[in-house]
Amino acid sequence: MGIQMQERETGSVVRSEPILSVRAVHKTYTLGRVKVPVLHGVDLDVKQGEWVTILGASGSGKSTLLHLIGGLDRPDKKTERSASVQFRDRELTQESKRALDRYRADDIGFVFQFYHLLPELSVLENVTVGGMIKYGRLGYRAHRKQIVDRASGLLDRFGLSHRLKHRPAELSGGERQRVAIARALINEPSLLLADEPTGNLDLKTGESILDAIIEHRRDAGLTLVMVTHDERIAAKSDRVIRLIDGRVEEA
Ligand code: ADP
Ligand code: MG
């Protein structure tokens, strides 16, 4: 088949075939009677193993786009029948809610700006809960040891092995975000979606978060789509795109 591979500066291997193809995606929110058009025909290909950074002004639809890619929301149907979000050989716009839940559990990791950890759970539980979602209650029992081992391994790698029993409230922002990253990676996703993962952190902490993601990405061959305002982070990625007036422009 002649798959081309390229060694990147980031040390990752990028394959030439896309893992994700977004075509003609429109998204309009409705607030009461007011329509808020956000995306006006987004086209985007992401190759397997690639790190794509999305830049764009606040309110330009970056989070909206990540949500559509991650199966958390759907593109408009009425305005654009040809809208397509393809992940590998799956057409996400045609899939049931249940299938999208599976897709999120099996294939996608999500990291948010504000961590979204569960306050009642310990650090370790916040990470293993992803395994529970994937395997269900019964399946989780059968896989429990494997999931707990993997969660502890990830937390150890991110320098949190001394925090396993702590609650999120007892952690710093940087530590919370590292827990959130471990949670996103627990099911070995092939695509990590990160929405301003360093946006709430000071510079140095942000860099350590980024290093954790980069290191893991290299080892796991992860594909990464990241939203950030930080041009220095963007400069490290394989490719930068901008959302302008609801469309993608290559930067
Ligand atoms: P960004 O992440 O680039 O800052 P968003 O994708 O969050 O932008 O939002 C784009 C626009 O859509 C904003 O004007 C925002 O207010 C609006 N918006 C986002 N989510 C919703 C929603 N659930 N309901 C209504 N409007 C929304
Ligand atoms: Mg946003």
pLDDT per residue, tens digit, the chain (251 aa), is 334 455 555 556 777 789 999 999 999 999 999 999 999 999 999 999 999 999 999 999 999 999 999 999 999 986 667 899 999 999 999 999 999 999 999 999 999 988 999 999 999 999 999 998 899 888 889 999 999 999 999 999 999 999 999 999 999 999 999 999 999 999 999 999 999 999 888 888 888 888 888 888 888 889 999 999 888 889 999 999 999 999 999 87
Q: Which two tokens stand for residue 199?
A: 């946006």
Q: Is residue 250 part of a domain?
A: no
Alpha carbon distance 28, 64 (integer Å): 10
Ligand having the closest approach to the CA of 114: 2
Q: What pLDDT, on a 0 to 100 scale, did the predictor assign at position 65?
A: 98
Nearest Cα to Cα of residue 192 among 214, 215, 161, 225: 225
Ligand having the closest approach to the CA of 40: 1
Strand partners, 157: none
Ligand having the closest approach to the CA of 61: 1
Q: Is residue 247 part of a domain?
A: no
The model carries a pTM of 0.92
CA of 145 to the centre of ligand 2 (A): 36
30 lines ligand 1 (CB under 6 A): no
Q: What pLDDT, on a 0 to 100 scale, did the predictor assign at position 60?
A: 96
- Identify the residue whose tokens are 């690639």: 50
Q: What pLDDT, on a 0 to 100 scale, did the predictor assign at position 193?
A: 97
Q: Is residue 130 part of a domain?
A: yes
**Atom from ligand 1 closest to the CA of residue 62:** 3
Strand partners, 250: 241
Residue nearest atom 24 in ligand 1 by C-alpha distance: 29
31 lines ligand 1 (CB under 6 A): yes
Q: What is the CATH number of the domain that holds 193?
A: 3.40.50.300
> Alpha helices, DSSP H only, in the chain?
62-69, 97-107, 123-157, 173-185, 203-220, 231-236
Residue nearest atom 5 in ligand 1 by C-alpha distance: 61
**Atom from ligand 1 closest to the CA of residue 31:** 25
Alpha carbon distance 245, 190 (integer Å): 30
Q: Order across the sheet with 51-55: list the strands.
A: 108-111, 191-195, 223-227, 51-55, 239-244, 247-250
Q: What pLDDT, on a 0 to 100 scale, did the predictor assign at position 12?
A: 64
Q: Is residue 71 part of a domain?
A: yes
Q: Is residue 63 part of a domain?
A: yes
CB 64 within 8 A of CB 244: no
Q: Order across the sheet with 34-47: list the strands.
A: 34-47, 18-31, 84-87, 90-91
**Atom from ligand 1 closest to the CA of residue 196:** 2
Contacts of 92 (CB under 8 A, 6+ apart): 71, 85, 86, 100, 103
Q: Is residue 248 part of a domain?
A: no
Q: What pLDDT, on a 0 to 100 scale, did the predictor assign at position 251?
A: 77
Q: Which domain holds residue 134?
A: 6-242
Q: What pLDDT, on a 0 to 100 scale, did the predictor assign at position 82?
A: 86
CA of 205 to the centre of ligand 2 (A): 20
Q: Which two tokens stand for residue 228?
A: 């950030």
Say what angle helices 203-220 and 123-157 make with each other, to 10 degrees.
80
Alpha carbon distance 194, 217 (integer Å): 12
Ligand having the closest approach to the CA of 36: 1
> Domains in the chain: how many in total?
1
27 lines ligand 1 (CB under 6 A): no
Q: Is residue 62 part of a domain?
A: yes
CA of 103 to the centre of ligand 1 (A): 23
61 lines ligand 1 (CB under 6 A): yes
3-state secondary structure of 225: strand
In terms of C-beta density within 10 A (0-12 exposed, 13-18 middle, 19 or more buried), how is residue 157 classed? middle
Q: What pLDDT, on a 0 to 100 scale, did the predictor assign at position 11?
A: 56
Q: Is residue 104 part of a domain?
A: yes
Alpha carbon distance 103, 90 (integer Å): 10
